[in-house]
Structure 1
C-alpha cells in the first residue's frame, strides 16, 4: 500500500463514480465514505441507524467542498440480515443514480470468546451477518454489473482473514470464509471487467469491540477501545481503502507496526511464525491486536 500512495492512481480518478457502502454509519464504513466524498464520489450510505447515516451524509457533502449536492448522497436505512430486502434496496440505488459502479461490503461484527465454549447459535449468527448477507448482496449487485458489463466488488475482510486470531474463532472463521468466497469470484470473473478487492485492516480505532459477539447468544463484549491502544485510526483506514479501491488491488493489508511485519512473517515464513507462536503463546498475538493481555485467556487459566 505504501508504494501505491506514491506511484498508484489517486482516488481523484473515482470522481463521479457511484459507490454503495454497507455499515456506513460509523467506523471504517463512515471514514471510507469521507475519503471518497472528498474526491466527488457519489454515495449510497446504508446501515440500520438512519439518524447516524444522515449525520454522515451531511459530513460527506461538507467534505466534498461543493462537488456533491444533497441528491448525490443517498441514505438507505437497511438491515443486512433482512436478506429479502437486498434486491429492493439495491434497485432503489440504481433507480436513483441510474447505475452503481462499486459495491463496498463493510458491515459486520467482531468477536471476543473462547473457541471451546462458543455456542453454536453464535457461530450461525456471526456467519449470517459477516458472510451470508455479504454473499447475497454481492450476488444482487452482480446482476447489475453483469448486465452493464463492468463493476467492482469490494469486501472489508481483516488481517484475521489472512492469519488466525486467538479468542475470536468464529470471527476469524467468517473472514477466512470471505477470503475463500471472493478469491473464487475473482477467478471466475477474470476478463469480464468485474474486479474484486479484499480489504484487510489490522487493529483500528472504532466502536467494534463494544459491539463484538462473545461466546453466548445475545451477549455483547461491551469493552470499549482505549485511546492508549496501538491502533490505526479509522480515518487512515478509510484513506487506504480509497487508494486500494481506485487501484483495483486484489488484496490490501493495512495496519501499524508490528502487526504488519508479523502478518508477512506468518504468510511468507510460516514455520518461523509457528515456532514463535509456540514460544510466545496466544497472549502475544492477543496483545498485538488489543494492546493488552486477553482477559479471556486469564479467565481460562483461573478455572
Structure 2
C-alpha cells in the first residue's frame, strides 16, 4: 500500500468520524463526554451501591426523582428540604418502589438559609449512618422577572439560598470527606451557570457563583484524588422550578400551571446524573437542543453565542410580557424540525 493511499484512507476515516459525531450531536440530550460514559462507562448499579447519599431539595422535582432512583440501587438515603410532609411522602415512595427498608432512609428537615443549623445536621447524619459518601447539593430556587423590575431583596434571597446555603453545607461535610480521603460532592447547577439568559439575572448570578466556587474547590482538593467535585448543569427539566420561581418581589412567585411538554423528562435527567456520578465526571451538561447547542457556542464560540442569545432573548422577553412560557415557542420550532 502506497503512502498516498494510506493518507487518503486516514483522511476518509477522520471525515467519517466527524460525520458520526455530528449525527450523534444532533440527537444528543447531554454533552458528548457524558453520552460516551452512558455507552461505555461504569454503571450506577455497580458503583453507587452501599453508599450513604445526602440529597437536599429532595421534596420535589429532580431531588425527589433522584431519591427514588437511588432507592433502587441499595444506598442509604438522607432526604432534606424544608417541607417535612413532602419529605415523608418521598420516603414512602422510595420504600414502596425501591429496595430499601425504614432504617435506610433518614428524613432530615433543613433550611439552607439557616446556616447555623448545618453543622448540627451534618452531625445527625454521621451519628445515624457513620459516613457521608455523596452530598448532592440540589436545593435552590429560580427567578422569572426583568432585572430593572426586580427588588434587590430577590437577588439577596437567591444568593443566600442557592449560593451561600450550598457553600455552607458543603463546608460542614467536607472535613469528614477529607478525613476519610474520599467522597463525592455533586452540585446541581444549571446551564444558566454557564450561559446567561434574560429574565434570570439573579438566578444566573447565583449559579455562576456556584460554578466558580466548586471549580476552585476542586483545584484546592488536588491532594485528595478520592474526593470528586462535580457540577451537574441541566437545561429545562419537567419540575415545579418555574412555578416556584421568585418574581419582582420575594413574597411573589410565578404560580399557576406551567407548560412542561417541551422539557426533558425528570427521569431521563436523573439517569444521566447517576451516570455522571458513577463515572466521576467533573462537569456535565444535560439538555435537549437548542439549549445544548447554545451551551457549546458559549463554551467554544462566545461571539456567535452572544448573537444567538440576543436573538432568542428578544423572543423570550416577548413571550414573558405576553403571559406565555418564555421558552416554548422556539422549543416547538426546534422539535418540529428535529423530528
Taking structure 1 as the reference length, the TM-score comes to 0.91
| Corresponding residue for residue 26 of structure 1 | 60
Residue of structure 2 in register with 1:167 after alignment: 199
Q: Evaluate the alpha carbon distance shift between residue 4 and residue 84 of structure 1 in structure 2; reply closer, same or farther with a 3 A threshold.
A: same
More divergent stretch after superposition (46-55 vs 107-116): 46-55
Query: Retained in 1: the 8 A contact 2:53–2:136?
Result: yes
Residue 68 of structure 2 corresponds to residue 68 of structure 1 = no
Shift of residue 284 of structure 1?
5.3
Q: 1:150 aligns with which of 182, 197, 213?
A: 182
User: What SS class does the counterpart of residue 232 from structure 1 fall into?
Assistant: coil
Q: Return the alpha-carbon distance in structure 2 between the equivalents of residues 286 and 201 of structure 1.
A: 24
| Matched residue SS, 1:204 | coil
Residue among 239, 245, 251 paired with 1:218: 251
Unaligned runs of 5+ in 1: 294-303
Distance 1:156 1:286 in 2: 29
Whole-Å separation in 1 of the counterparts to 2:91 and 2:129: 16
- Quick one: which of 22, 45, 48 aligns to 1:14? 48
**Residue correspondence of structure 1 range 145-294 to structure 2 within 5 A:** 145-192=177-224, 193-228=226-261, 230-283=262-315, 290-292=327-329
Q: Could you tell me how far 1:292 is from its partner in structure 2?
A: 4.2
8 Å contact from structure 1 (residues 202, 289) kept in 2: no
Other-structure match for 1:51: 85
- Secondary structure in 2 aligned to 1:213? coil
Shift of 1:221: 1.6
**How far does residue 280 in structure 1 lie from its aligned partner after superposition?**
4.8
Following the alignment from structure 2 to structure 1, what is the Cα–Cα distance between the partners of residues 157 and 260? 30
Larger radius of gyration: 2
Task: Give the superposed CA RMSD.
Answer: 1.8
Counterpart of 1:9 in 2: which secondary structure?
A: coil
| Match runs of 1:72-87 below 5 Å | 72-87=104-119
Paired with 1:187 and 1:119, the residues of 2 have a C-alpha distance of 35
Query: d(CA) in 2 for partners of 1:47 and 1:286?
Result: 34
Q: Secondary structure at the match of 1:154?
A: strand
For the residue of structure 1 that corresponds to 2:243, the secondary structure is helix
Deviation at 1:224, TM superposition (A): 2.7
- Retained in 2: the 8 A contact 1:205–1:233? yes
Deviations 1:231-255 (A, max 9, x none): 0111111111111111111111001
1:122 to 154, 157, 160: 154
Query: For the Cα contact (< 8 Å) 2:72–2:100, is it kept in 1?
Result: no
Aligned residues: 290
Distance in 1, Cα, partners of 2:117 & 2:313: 44
* 8 Å Cα contact 1:11/1:36 also seen in 2: no
5+ residue gaps, structure 2, are 1-33, 320-324, 331-339
The CA distance in 2 between the partners of 1:102 and 1:142, in whole Å, is 11
CA deviations on 1:14-38 (whole Å, 9 max, x unpaired) are: 1000000001010011111122111
